[in-house]
């Protein structure tokens, strides 16, 4: 087992973390995430990231464990992963022509030494005005059921996204700069 474990099944998080050049293993936490749409999104993603990291760290106390969780937030509600294509359509209609916030919580744990670090990152995304034909075209090209808000900016984002501010990697699911700083601070990455 590598000295770092990613507590996530997300292929996007794997790719982003691999881009930092750190060796890691993946162990998917067997937890039930809190996804109540009216919960403060910062609290929800922090809770879920910690839940995943803590579950894996308990089983691998000598390893550093990184957990993360991302959601889309608009109109006082979190838009988590859609249950089906109809819900993905509904989410995209709600986001159409508007700006929303993407929140990610990251949690770094080392159970043997008791290290617990939590951090949150926010970015904003402005969507194009999406007519039904554009939404259907997007859904035909992208598997959206594993993506908060029913979309992935990295998957044909040019069809639906007008622009963004903040961290692109945060919008994808793992804020790389902040993660790099945490891993460097804990001695897992060279400076």
Positions annotated as catalytic residues are 69
> CB of 31 within 8 A of CB of 53?
no
Compute φ and ψ for 96, nearest 5 degrees.
-50, 125
Compute φ and ψ for 123, nearest 5 degrees.
-135, 160
Closest C-alpha among 103, 124, 106, 112 to residue 20: 106
Burial bucket for residue 40 (CB in 10 Å: 0-12, 13-18, 19+): middle
d(CA 140, CA 156): 11
Q: Give 116's strand partners.
A: 109
Cα maximum dimension of the chain: 54
Return the residue matching tokens 């963004």. 164
Return the residue matching tokens 């043997």. 112
């Amino acid at each position: 087992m590598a000295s770092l474990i990613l507590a996530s099944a997300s292929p996007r998080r794997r790719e982003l973390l691999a881009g930092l050049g750190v060796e890691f293993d993946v162990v998917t936490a067997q937890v039930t995430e809190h996804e109540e749409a009216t919960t403060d999104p910062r609290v929800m993603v922090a809770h879920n990231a910690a839940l995943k990291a803590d579950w894996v760290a308990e089983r691998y106390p000598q390893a550093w464990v990184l957990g993360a969780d991302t959601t889309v937030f608009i109109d006082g509600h979190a838009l988590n992963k859609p249950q089906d294509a109809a819900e993905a359509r509904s989410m995209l209609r709600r986001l159409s022509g508007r700006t929303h916030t993407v929140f990610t919580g990251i949690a770094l744990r080392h159970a043997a030494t008791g290290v617990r670090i939590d951090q949150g990152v926010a970015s904003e995304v402005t969507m194009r005005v999406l007519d039904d034909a554009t939404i259907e075209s997007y859904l035909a090209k992208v598997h959206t059921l594993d993506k908060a808000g029913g979309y992935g900016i990295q998957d044909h984002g040019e069809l639906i996204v007008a622009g963004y501010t903040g961290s692109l990697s945060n919008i994808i699911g793992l804020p790389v700069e902040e993660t790099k700083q945490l891993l460097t601070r804990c001695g897992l990455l060279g400076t």
